[in-house]
Amino acid sequence: MTMTLHGVGASAGIGIGTAVCVREQNLDYTSVPFSGAEQEKARLRAAADLFTQRTQAMADDITNRLGEAEAAILTGQIMMLEDPFMLSQMEEAIDTGKCAEEALDTVCQTFIAMFSGVEDELMRQRAADIGDIRTRMLGILLHAESVDLAALPEGTVLVVHDLTPSMTVSLSKEHVCAILTEVGGQTSHSAILARALEVPAVLGVPGLLDAVQDGMTVAVDGTEGAALLCPDEATLAAFQARRDKWLEERALLQVYRDRDTRTADGRHVDLYANIGSVADAKAAAEAGAEGIGLFRTEFLFMDRTALPDEEEQYQAYAQVSDLMAGKEVIIRTLDVGGDKGIAYLEMEREENPFLGHRAIRYCLDRPDLYRVQLRALLRAGARHGNIKIMLPLVSGVEEVRGARALLEECKAQLSAEGLAFDPHISLGIMVETPAAALIADLLAREADFFSIGTNDLTQYTIAVDRGNAKVEKLYTCYHPAVLRSIRSVIAAGKAAGIPVGMCGEAAADPRMIPLLLAFGLDEFSVSPSSILAARKQIADWNGPDALRTAEQAMALDTAAQVSDFLAQASASL
């Protein structure tokens, strides 16, 4: 009997194959005796050394197969385990009479609970990392056999509780046609790794391992977030036809790799990439990005115990500038707070962190911290003159003026010190609050460019928590209020003669592309993996058709009507 499971569509595509369920190892250590503090500490250190050796080997392999960005997840685990604080906590637990296994488990569970309790999705990924460290370290200490994924048969639909980085090293995308997990979301490590492997994936499926048995035929739709168990012949044939079409479309996208981004009637738009690291910039360049529309610098501040100094920040910005020499690199200043907590900054817990002391508000109140970043950006800008600075969560002109004043102070300091910098560096803003959208005409007099952040703009405009499953259906960029905001912001930028881009998820949405073209958006910034598809979708539209589609869509009353209409318009091309 056919059964449909639903989760998060985290890696697009269609996969059809046979289920292989990977269940957790037996890591029971209750019978392990305590052999004395020194011996248990020696066992712990030996296990940590072996963990590091194996993990580094995995990271090297992933670098060769997938890239440095994906390998960084594993090297980050090495850094976590080698953190003196974590190891000292384990050794202190051993001093109380716990064996190495129990000491490791106790400390890891403490950190998992701590990271799992924060709102920041990226910080919650630290919990997943520590869970992976715990499992593998216990496996080493107990001499338990780990799961061998290298021997999976061709046509496997891998069914797991979670796809950990250490599991990925053995996976072959020639053998694994789809992935299903019980946990994980769009920004989880599982999603990142599945997309890097270019394997369709549905994550966060409740009760998955209870519902699926080894050997079942499973059809997975990684775009819609659905999996069919034991589909009948007719359903299977329909899925196979969709899979054939998907594979054909993916192959055809390669012709867009080195093309200029133009509409069907020849209008050029910039197609940039969103990145969070130097490794991401390499992936963006390889994917054919025409620039960087968003470099999220908060990733430089995470997974560490102290602030990165000016030289470290300079080196990161300079490397991205070098990689994209001749192309624009828009770097967002520290966007901390809200869902992005950084423990060592000791920010106070707030009742409504998304409405609290975050992003540009926090940075302007910490000029000591902010000047370090601004100086590093100015210095990196001197290399090729291609860096632009972007301010997050602006809600008023005073914030832009405050940041510009600090920037001028930094220029004066660098000049007095005889250090090279870009004196003409552009200063723009992210438009992601209703306040900024409503006064876009005023902000356009202060900013050198706009970039619309649709993720937060949608959340704030509709007053809906995008992380709350109970109101998730209300969170949509097709809401007429959001679309009107986007249109008016672009119009304000045009009237002031400044470029307007978009770096939110909507920039890669095929249903949104005709609207954004019709509104006059200058720059689309998407994830590196979405560049080729976005370039093709832009090439499919001409100006008159996009304008006609936009006029009809903007006359509709509800988000559902807009979404359905745009889906039909996109499908009819």
Q: What is the pLDDT of residue 352?
A: 77
Is the alpha carbon torsion for 64, 69, 74, 76 positive or negative?
positive
Residue that is written with structure tokens 């639903």 in the block:
6
Report the alpha-carbon distance of residue 437 to residue 439 in Å, rounded: 6
- Looking at per-residue pLDDT, the higher value among 138 and 516 belongs to 516
* Residues forming a β-bridge with 431: 452
Report the alpha-carbon distance of residue 489 to residue 84 in Å, rounded: 49
pLDDT 10s digits, 355-374: 888 899 999 999 999 999 99
Q: What is the pLDDT of residue 350?
A: 73
**Rounded mean pLDDT, 336-347:** 66
Determine phi and psi for 243, rounding to 5 degrees. -65, -45
pLDDT 10s digits, 244-255: 988 888 888 888
Chain-centre distance for alpha carbon 248: 27
Q: What is the pLDDT of residue 467?
A: 62
pTM metric for this prediction: 0.71
pLDDT 10s digits, 195-219: 767 789 999 898 898 899 889 999 9
**Rounded mean pLDDT, 525-553:** 94
pLDDT 10s digits, 472-528: 788 899 999 999 999 999 999 999 999 999 997 799 899 999 999 999 999 999 988
Report the alpha-carbon distance of residue 225 to residue 201 in Å, rounded: 8
Q: Are 230 and 217 in contact (CB under 8 A)?
A: yes
Q: What is the pLDDT of residue 291?
A: 96
Q: Label residues 201-219 b or e (16+ Cβ within 10 Å = b).
A: bbbbbeebbeebeeebbbb
User: Which long-range contacts does 543-549 make (Cβ < 8 Å, 24+ apart)?
Assistant: 543/263, 543/265, 543/267, 543/517, 543/518, 544/265, 545/514, 546/263, 546/513, 546/514, 546/515, 546/517, 546/518, 547/518, 549/514, 549/515, 549/518
Query: Measuring CA to CA, which residue among 193, 151, 165, 131 is closest to residue 55?
Result: 165
Q: Are 391 and 403 in contact (CB under 8 A)?
A: yes
Active site residue 189: yes
Q: Label residues 385-411 b or e (16+ Cβ within 10 Å = b).
A: ebbbbbbbbbbbbebbebbbebbeebb
Report the alpha-carbon distance of residue 95 to residue 101 in Å, rounded: 13
250 burial class (0-12, 13-18, 19+ CB within 10 angstroms)?
Answer: middle
DSSP H or E run through 529: none
Residue 424 pLDDT greater than 60, yes or no: yes
Q: Are 518 and 491 in contact (CB under 8 A)?
A: no
Q: How confident is the model at residue 554 (pLDDT cuts 50, 70, 90)?
A: very high
Residue 56 pLDDT greater than 60, yes or no: yes
Q: What is the pLDDT of residue 54?
A: 81
Q: What is the pLDDT of residue 146?
A: 59
> What number of other Cβ atoms are within 10 A of residue 102's Cβ?
20
Q: How confident is the model at residue 261 (pLDDT cuts 50, 70, 90)?
A: very high
Q: Which two tokens stand for residue 265?
A: 């009637």
DSSP state of 540: T
DSSP state of 34: P
Tell me what percent of the residues of the chain surpass a pLDDT of 70.
91
Report the alpha-carbon distance of residue 167 to residue 164 in Å, rounded: 5
pLDDT 10s digits, 86-120: 888 999 999 999 999 999 999 999 888 877 766 55
pLDDT 10s digits, 428-460: 999 999 999 999 999 999 999 999 999 899 999
Tell me what percent of the residues of the chain surpass a pLDDT of 90.
54
Report the alpha-carbon distance of residue 147 to residue 24 in Å, rounded: 9
Average pLDDT, rounded, for the chain: 88
Q: Are 294 and 330 in contact (CB under 8 A)?
A: yes
Question: Which position among 99, 108, 177, 503 bears the catalytic label?
Answer: 503
Q: Are 222 and 13 in contact (CB under 8 A)?
A: yes
pLDDT 10s digits, 276-288: 878 778 888 888 9
Report the alpha-carbon distance of residue 163 to residue 149 in Å, rounded: 11
Question: Which position among 189, 363, 410, 477 bears the catalytic label?
Answer: 189
Query: Which stretches within 359-453 are classed as H helix?
Result: 359-365, 367-384, 397-417, 434-438, 440-443
Report the alpha-carbon distance of residue 12 to residue 201 in Å, rounded: 7
Q: What is the pLDDT of residue 124?
A: 67
Q: Which two tokens stand for residue 304?
A: 């560490």
Q: Are 547 and 541 in contact (CB under 8 A)?
A: no
* Residues forming a β-bridge with 303: none
Strand order in the sheet with 201-203: 3-6, 226-229, 217-221, 14-22, 156-160, 176-181, 201-203, 8-11
Q: Label residues 150-175 b or e (16+ Cβ within 10 Å = b).
A: eebeeebbbbbbbbbbbbbbbbeeeb
pLDDT 10s digits, 142-201: 887 555 677 788 899 999 888 776 676 667 778 899 999 988 776 566 676 777 677 899
Residue 55 pLDDT greater than 80, yes or no: yes
pLDDT 10s digits, 20-51: 888 766 788 988 999 999 999 999 999 999 88
Q: What is the pLDDT of residue 189?
A: 62
Q: What is the pLDDT of residue 276?
A: 81
